[in-house]
Structure 1
C-alpha cells in the first residue's frame, strides 16, 4: 500500500471503491498531468445516508460531514485513472455544490468539510483553490457534491 492510502487508513478511514456513474459520464478523466473528477456524492456503499436541502432537512453540521464523505470519494475517482494516489503533486481546485434551502447562505462552511479532509490526507499538497455554490437540487436529492482537480507528478 502506498503512503497516501496509508495516511487515509491511519485516520480511521477507508478509501472506498470508485462510485459507479449515475448517467453517461466517467468518474474521472486524465488530461495530460491533470485529473478532473466528476461530481462525487456522499455515497457510502452506494447509498446516500441523508437526502434533502441544507438549512431545511439537513443541518450545516450534517452537511459538512457529508462533504467530507464526498471528498473521500474523490481520491477513489482519481486513483481509478491515475493508478496511484502518491502521483498527486497537488490538489488544484475543489468545486462544492450545496443543495440549499432558499435562505441558507453557509455554503463555504459546508464545503470546508471537503477542504479540511483533503488537507488532512494530502498535507501541503492539499491546499487548493475552491468554489462553494448553492444550488436548488442535486442528483438523488443529495445535500452536497464535490468535484476535485489534481495535478499529477510526471
Structure 2
C-alpha cells in the first residue's frame, strides 16, 4: 500500500530526504508509549543549510517560511525512518519553532505557518496541532528556523 502522506508531500514538491544525523550527543527520535518526539530539525538540504541568517535582516519572511517547511520535512524524514510509514501517526500534537531574528522582528507566527501549512496539506485532519514559537538570537549552523515535532501514535499492531 502506498503511503498517502509521502504521495501528498511529493505532489507538493517535497521528497523525503535521508534524515539528517544529530549535530550532538542525542537521539533524533524517541518513541515513548504512544508519543513520538522528534528533536529539533533545521533547514538542511543535502547535508548543508539551505537558508542562513536572521529573519528581519538577511532572511525574508517568505524564505523563513520555506526554511520552516524544509525543517518540518526533515522532521518527517526522521519519523519515516523510525516508523517505516506514516499510517501509525494518529495526530500531530505539537510543533515548536525557533526563529533566529533581529530584536525588532515580530512575524514569528507567519514564518512558522510554513511548517504548519505543510503538515496540514500532508496529514489533513491528523495535522491539527498546538504550536509554540519564539525568537532567538541564533541557531546551530546560522539556521534561521528550527522545529521540533511531537506526534501521537496508533499502537504498533495498527
TM-based fold match above 0.5: yes
Secondary structure of the structure 1 residue equivalent to 2:49: coil
SS of alignment partner, residue 44 of structure 2: coil
CA root-mean-square deviation: 1.0
- String of CA shifts for 1:53-78, please: whole Å, max 9, x gaps: 10011111110111011111111111
Gaps of 5+ in 2: none
SS at match of 2:45: coil
Deviates more, 1:72-81 or 1:96-105: 72-81
SS at match of 2:36: strand
Q: Distance in 2 between matches of 1:28 and 1:133?
A: 22
Aligned equivalents of 1:61 and 1:11: distance in 2? Answer: 17
- 3-state SS in 1 of match to 2:59: coil
| Inter-partner Cα distance in structure 2 for 1:66 and 1:100 | 13
Partner of 1:88: 89
What residue is the counterpart of 1:23 in the other structure? 24
Is residue 30–residue 82 contact of structure 1 (8 Å, CA) maintained in 2?
no
Give the 3-state SS of the residue equivalent to 1:120 in structure 2: helix
Question: What residue is the counterpart of 1:133 in the other structure?
Answer: 134
SS in 1 for 2:40: coil
Aligned residues: 154
SS at match of 1:76: helix
- Rounded to whole Å, the distance in 2 between the matches of 1:81 and 1:55 is 36
1:15 CA drift (Å): 0.9
After superposition, where does 1:101-140 map in structure 2 within 5 Å?
A: 101-140=102-141
CA distance in 2, matches of 1:127, 1:106: 21
Shift of 1:20: 0.8
Deviation string 1:91-133 (CA, Å, 9 cap, x unpaired) is: 0000000001111011111000000000000001011000011
